Structure 1
Amino acid sequence: MTGVRIGVDIGGTKIDAVAVDERLQILQRHRVPVERGPEGVVRSAQAAVEVVTRKCAVDVRDALSVGVGIPGAVRGGVVRHALNLDLVELDLARALGDAWGRPVQVENDVNAAAVGAWRLVGTDARSVAYLNLGTGLAAGIILDGQLWRGSRGTSGEVGQISVDPRGPVDAEGNPGGLETYASGSGIVRQWGDPTADARDILALAAKGDPRAVEIRERLFVGVAHSIRVLVLAYDVEEVIVGGGLTGLGDVLLDGTAKVLKDWADGSRFIASLGGAPHPHS
């Protein structure tokens, strides 16, 4: 088979590999649980790609391109500070390139998603932020039609911003970080049971469980803070919201919109910024 491209999405809990044709139609797809740590991440990525290439009857070395998205700060194929994967520093492009005998393009996963969302939504805006609400919290930034990575590859890492010194603490002991408010891992951390699932906690909130409702309210505030930070810091025309937590649908959008409206009602400057989040998943 000719004209195959390979894409690998490395997330906090799974690795999703796909093979697509030249029209970007999915030919094969395979998911595996992610193994944490440098060796585990490389091994998991190889395992997922081995399945899709075997099913397509193609050698990975013959693919038109191989692209990998992964959390963390990424520059020159080197991944740093991917905390959910227990990665401090890993030259992932080199590790996978050596294993597969070919060049591999590595990009921050949310940056890659930002480009895709910007194209798929079909907006006329030239400057947008894509806010990803998943296992972690981060944003991809498009400025004047170009992906903006920043000087260290950390542009859009809004999850590290603290908004309340008395708020819930993150895995490193820092209080009030936006990722603790508005991510799957943060919701579980607030709940206090590492075996819990964020979707189950939010389902309890829908049934009126008081502690789950409190966590859900903090989720709305965290998303609203993230949107405000992105608009103020980058002056983007639009903020597109995506990721697993958007499965809440109107509950998330309405709750976040209410927080933004309350802030706008108390500040003419904030009101002048306008713009509500656009759902995308």
Structure 2
Amino acid sequence: MTEKKLIGVDLGGTTIKFAILTAAGEIQQKWSIETNILSDGQLIIPDIIESINHHIKMYSMEADQFSGIGLGSPGTINAKEGTIKGAFNLNWKNEVYPVRDIEAGTGIPVVIENDANVAALGERWQGAGNNADDVVFVTLGTGVGGGIIAGGQLIHGANGAAGEIGHVTVDPHGFMCTCGKRGCLETIASATGIVHVARDRASEYAGDSELKIMLDDGQDISAKDVFDLAKKGDDLALIVADYVCDSLGFALANIANSLNPKYVIIGGGVSAAGDFLLKKVEKAMRANEFATIKDSTKAKLASLGNGAGVIGAASLIKVD
């Protein structure tokens, strides 16, 4: 009997990524399409169905050759009911029913989960997590997201909000967050937060700095610019990078103190700063961890990049 395949779908506001994988998690084919959020996002689910059916036919396969489709999506997920609410970047103002609709359109069983959680599952299964039972994943992008795996299981919490690492308070008197609180990690360690910190620090800085010149000239800067300049020894950029990494390390240390994961994995676009970022974050973590955690929890950079979502989504399918 031929082993059945898995399909992973990573639904984002700009692109939808797809992959066909073996049961062991090896990607065999992958592709992506643009996310069409027009008409209140009503075309997104039909586009997913059409793309899956087209590629199954293109690869001369049949629906019964697949164990299932795993879908990672933004928004509030009700995995039991197969629904998504509040995915505003997809223009979904009302509740949608992807499990019902995609199953009907493809003839393949579907499981859904939050996008940050599936990225955590992906890194745990095939990436930096080495398939450990206890892993915390934090993703530093436009915002800060996360996923927590304990005892081999995703932690969802009473209302599905577990793993919202971006809303851990690190500075009660800090910047206002979109969530309504002050000093959330997201306001400091996200790509947008880092730029905000840089502008704030530049307004009080009087020394010699290329970053200061760029900001005073009104140039648009990115988180990458800040870390690239910090690596070159730019004084203001180092002040910003140290504050960002100290804040991130402080938050991750307290999460590690609470959960004692084997790995704390840092992913997302900001993690492209690499070992420079990791070493600074590790230093801050060690300063705020107690002895047992220091001995048993390791910080690592994510290794799967954009592939974490489709791999983690596919891992939602329980293979018999």
**TM-score after normalising by structure 1:** 0.77
Distance 2:129 2:91 in 1: 36
Distance 2:47 2:224 in 1: 25
Contact 1:30/1:51 (8 A) holds in 2:
no
Contact 1:38/1:90 (8 A) holds in 2:
no
Shift of 1:64: 2.9
Code of the residue aligned with 2:267 in structure 1: it is: G
Shift of 1:24: 3.7
Q: Secondary structure at the match of 2:157?
A: coil
Shift of 1:12: 4.7
Shift of 1:205: 4.2
Contact 1:19/1:53 (8 A) holds in 2:
no
Shift of 1:19: 1.6
Q: Secondary structure at the match of 1:64?
A: strand
Contact 2:141/2:269 (8 A) holds in 1:
yes
Q: Report what 2:203 is aligned to.
A: none
The aligned length equals 275
Q: Report what 1:267 is aligned to.
A: none
Matched, 1:56 2:56: no
Matched, 1:167 2:170: no
Q: 1:179 aligns with which of 186, 191, 194?
A: 186
Distance 1:39 1:126 in 2: 38
The CA deviation string for residues 54-91 of structure 1, in whole angstroms up to 9 with x for no partner, is 54244667633111112343222323444554556433
Q: 1:110 aligns with which of 105, 111, 116?
A: 116
C-alpha RMSD over aligned residues? 3.6
Provide structure 2 residue ranges, at least 5 long, that are not aligned to the other structure: 200-217, 304-320
Contact 2:3/2:23 (8 A) holds in 1:
no
Code of the residue aligned with 2:156 in structure 1: it is: R
Code of the residue aligned with 2:191 in structure 1: it is: G
Shift of 1:239: 1.9
Provide structure 1 residue ranges, at least 5 long, that are not aligned to the other structure: 265-269
Contact 2:12/2:74 (8 A) holds in 1:
yes
Distance 1:153 1:109 in 2: 13
Q: Secondary structure at the match of 1:29?
A: strand
The CA deviation string for residues 246-277 of structure 1, in whole angstroms up to 9 with x for no partner, is 2221111111122224445xxxxx34531341
Aligned CA distance change for structure 1 residues 57 and 277 (closer, same or farther; 3 Å): same
Aligned CA distance change for structure 1 residues 91 and 47 (closer, same or farther; 3 Å): same
Shift of 1:184: 3.1
Aligned CA distance change for structure 1 residues 237 and 94 (closer, same or farther; 3 Å): same
Code of the residue aligned with 1:248 in structure 2: it is: A
Distance 1:276 1:42 in 2: 39
Distance 2:223 2:53 in 1: 31
Distance 1:200 1:58 in 2: 46
Specify which structure has the bigger relative contact order, considering alpha-carbon pairs within 8 angstroms and separated by 6 or more residues.
2
The CA deviation string for residues 184-230 of structure 1, in whole angstroms up to 9 with x for no partner, is 3444565689x865434533444556665454334313421331232
Aligned CA distance change for structure 1 residues 85 and 22 (closer, same or farther; 3 Å): same
Distance 2:59 2:196 in 1: 40
Aligned CA distance change for structure 1 residues 107 and 163 (closer, same or farther; 3 Å): same
The CA deviation string for residues 84-142 of structure 1, in whole angstroms up to 9 with x for no partner, is 54556433323433443543211122322333333334658532222233343222222
Distance 1:154 1:176 in 2: 19
Aligned CA distance change for structure 1 residues 126 and 59 (closer, same or farther; 3 Å): closer
Q: Secondary structure at the match of 1:203?
A: helix
Q: Secondary structure at the match of 1:154?
A: coil
Q: Report what 1:14 is aligned to.
A: 15
**TM-score after normalising by structure 2:** 0.69
Distance 1:204 1:51 in 2: 46
Aligned CA distance change for structure 1 residues 229 and 122 (closer, same or farther; 3 Å): closer
Q: Secondary structure at the match of 2:28?
A: strand
Q: Report what 1:90 is aligned to.
A: 96
Q: Counterparts in 2 of 1:12-91, with a 5 A limit? A: 12-36=13-37, 38-39=41-42, 41-42=44-45, 45-46=48-49, 49=52, 52-53=55-56, 55-58=58-61, 63-76=66-79, 77-82=82-87, 84-85=89-90, 87=92, 89-91=95-97
Matched, 1:225 2:250: yes
Q: Report what 1:128 is aligned to.
A: 135
Q: Report what 2:209 is aligned to.
A: none
